Amino acid sequence: MTDTIKHHLTDDLLMGYAAGALPEAFSLVVAAHVSMCDECRARLWAFDTLGGALLEGASPDGMSQDSLGQTLARIKSNPEAGPTAPEPRVITTGVFPAPLRDYVGGDLEDVRWRPVGMGVKQAILPTVRSATARLLYIPAGAAVPDHGHRGTELTLVLQGAFSDETDHFGAGDIEVANEDLNHTPVAGIEADCICLAATDAPLRFNSLIPRLAQPFLRI
Ligand code: ZN
Ligand code: ZN
């Protein structure tokens, strides 16, 4: 899995997660990606270590400019000493990574999907409502309607793949979208695409039908 992941979390998201500052829905997506991705697990561990050092009173000025780089280099050169992943437990069998299994109470077969239209289905996960986490099921070759974003949207691919105006995203990849991006994600034709997505503001759909359905779908 890890070797095929090309799209990773931003430093801001990893730092926010390490500091416990993200909305629950975002934390879930970060934890799920980290549990699938050695690289982000190492970066998170470095942020945790740095954060701990700062809390213990080390002055930031006293730390070399490149503390993070050095920590990462140490992790890379000695993977055995690396992170043991504090919360995001390492992937299990099945489609869902462990942090997600806890929310769903099982795996893919336990999800109660609701149709969104055009064959796309979703299942909203129970989190505090400052941000929404949902599972998305996009049939092979189908598209999510063209939309923009009023806030941040994190989309983690769990199975299959999708492409949009920016790139191709396969299993384990995460797309971080914001106000600057307008896109039409289209599932690959080889397999149905299953994603875990989190948003902290309603999407901005460009066509009428999805806009009308929005309040009911909490999307
Ligand atoms: Zn990653
Ligand atoms: Zn989007």
Within a domain: residue 85? Answer: no
3-state secondary structure of 106: coil
| CATH number of residue 134's parent domain | 2.60.120.10
Q: 118 and 45 in one domain?
A: no
Say what the pTM is.
Answer: 0.82
Q: 149 and 69 in one domain?
A: no
What separation in Å is there between the alpha carbon of 97 and the centre of ligand 2?
22
What separation in Å is there between the alpha carbon of 213 and the centre of ligand 1?
33
Quick: pLDDT tens for 35-78: 999 999 999 999 988 877 777 775 555 455 566 666 666 655 65
Q: 180 and 110 in one domain?
A: yes
> What's the first-to-final CA gap in the chain, in angstroms?
29
Q: 166 and 71 in one domain?
A: no
Q: 206 and 118 in one domain?
A: yes
What separation in Å is there between the alpha carbon of 194 and the centre of ligand 2?
14
Q: 68 and 13 in one domain?
A: yes
Q: 119 and 49 in one domain?
A: no
Q: 163 and 200 in one domain?
A: yes
Range of the domain at 68: 2-76
Contacts of the segment 89-98: beta carbons below 8 A, 24+ positions apart: 89/35, 90/35, 91/1, 91/35, 91/36, 95/158, 95/159, 95/194, 96/32, 96/158, 97/32, 97/35, 97/36, 97/158, 98/35
What separation in Å is there between the alpha carbon of 115 and the centre of ligand 1?
30
Quick: pLDDT tens for 124-144: 999 998 999 999 999 999 999
